[in-house]
Structure 1
Amino acid sequence: MTGAVATLPTRRDEAWRYADMDGVARLGAEALEQWEEIAVAAGESLMRCFIVGSDAPELHRFRVTLGEGATAAFFVTNAGRDYTRVEIEVRLAKGAHFEFGGVTIGGGDATREFVTQVVHAEPEATSNQTIRAVHWNTGTGNFLGEIKVARDAQKTDAAQDFKGLLLEAGASANAVPQLEIFADDVKCAHGATVGELDESARFYMMARGLDPAAVQRLLVQAFIGDAFVALDDEGEHERLLDAALAALEGAKL
């Protein structure tokens, strides 16, 4: 009896709808089978802060199980210069909390994406996801986020917030928030907006002597800062923010 042969996804798969399929092919089917399994015991806490992205395709996949009253927080800067995908699947027990803050940023023609699935399996769990995307040239930022609330998961409180900022006309940002709710006493919210820099704010700041590059940096910094508001570690906060702003330095806008 032979084992199952790993196959590449296609855009018919909802979770790969906006992916760079050439980048996926260069990763190879075997890479899609590699998950980091994380279990956070009841009452325990986990925090992960990391920067992803290089000149080659990258795929980072996590499966996280939270015990009763456990918490997990992931904060990520995705500044890949090739296809870069971070995927997180989370299952929450009673009273658990999941926090996610992510930034995709860059130009060129690269696709950078976050894909999350948060399963509220038991009552009184909470989750919050804040994603910011900043892109220029023909760069793309994607967020596909699914929240599932089981029938017995009453008192669930779950939220997603995606905002995209396009610095040039050729860039794009895609958001696919999905809710699947079987309980009736829940709070679930999601929002998705895409826009451009506030020209009135840019004009105001330049009129007071700031050069265009400094103005752009300050406005972008304010925009992406929301993704890391829940990150209390000042050193990690600065590291993730600096990595995002470093990607902006190379932009000729």
Structure 2
Amino acid sequence: MSEVATVPTTRDEDWRYADGDYLAAAGAEALARWRTIEVAPGETERNCEVRLSGPEASGFVDRLRVHVGKGGRYEHFATIAAGRYARIEIEVTLDEGAHFEFGGVTLGGGDKRQEFVTRTIHAAPNCTSNQVVRAVHWGRSVGNFLGRIEIPQHSQKVDAAQNFRAILLEKGASANAKPELEIFADDVKAAHGAAIGALDDRAAFYMASRGIPPEVARKLLVRAFVADAFDSVEDDATRDDLVERTLAQLDEAAV
């Protein structure tokens, strides 16, 4: 007998920062739907996306399961600048020697609520993962990152890292980070870091003292901040395109 799909609520830990109104109005089947990707042993697959939608759009939930074979590599780089509520959820299972690279940016104003949710299962020894998430928000918008790393007892020599930083351009905007590490192996490296604040006024002042107009200095600082999430994209043209398409959504921001 198949399980009946139910609508999650903000009482569920994995949905604690979600938009309750959006969840209540969404269909249970749509929220329970997962896409799948299989990366063959020794192969590399990369996905790059900038998720946009019109101002009247309610948003979306996109859930993805990825299995990376032995020695394989999966890279996912994404910007969320979509409607009222938007969530990209990625669950990755890594075989021996496999790697997961993730770079994400949430960006928006008004009352948008945007989030990345990742679960990285290091299912075998010598696998690695690295996740970099940046959030830029203004108005009353919210940027969230919930990242779970699982390392079972037999998965020795694992190296896993997460890094989340947020810039709030106006009072009223907010960001939330929930790193979660479940580690049962003893020969591993696992680290996470999070920081939330405003633009660096000292850096802006230094740039202004060198003749750079304040508005230009602030945009340069935001550009460098956003570009961190895409630093691991090897192809220069692809990386520059991701940065430019992301920054194009900053027109209404108080930069």
Contact 2:167 2:198 in 1 (8 A): yes
1:148 aligned partner: 150
Match of 1:66 among 68, 82, 104: 68
1:226 alignment counterpart: 228
Alpha carbons of structure 1 residues 162 and 252: separation in structure 2 relative to 1, 3 Å: closer
Matched, 1:162 2:164: yes
- 1:205 corresponds to which of 197, 204, 207: 207
**How do 1:3-152 residues align onto structure 2 when only pairs under 5 Å count?**
4-55=3-54, 56=57, 57-152=59-154
Alpha-carbon shift at residue 4 of structure 1 (Å) = 4.0
TM-score, length of structure 2 as denominator length = 0.94
Range moving further from structure 2, 92-101 or 52-61: 52-61
Identity of counterpart residues, as a percentage? Answer: 54
Which structure 1 segments of 5+ residues have no match? none
Q: State the superposition RMSD in angstroms.
A: 1.4
CA distance in 1, matches of 2:152, 2:38: 20
User: CA offset at residue 25 of structure 1?
Assistant: 2.9
Q: Does the CA-based 8 Å contact 1:217-1:248 persist in structure 2?
A: no
- Asked whether the 8 Å contact 1:81–1:108 carries over to 2, the reply is no
User: Which stretch shifts more, 37-46 or 233-242?
Assistant: 233-242
Q: 1:23 to 1:211 in 2, by over 3 A?
A: farther
Aligned-partner SS, 2:105: strand
Is the 1:40–1:71 Cα contact (8 Å) retained in structure 2? yes
Hey, what does 2:177 align to over in structure 1? 175
Match of 1:184 in 2: 186
Give yes or no for contact 1:103–1:224 (8 Å, CA) kept in 2: yes
- Cα distance, 1:117 vs structure 2: 0.1
SS at match of 1:236: helix
TM-score (norm 1): 0.95
Deviation at 1:85, TM superposition (A): 0.5
- 1:33-84 alpha-carbon deviations (Å, 9 max, x no partner): 2211111111111000011131321111110001110100000011113211
Deviations 1:110-138, CA, capped at 9 Å, x for gaps = 00100000000100000000000110111
Identify which range, 128-137 or 232-241, moves more after superposition.
232-241
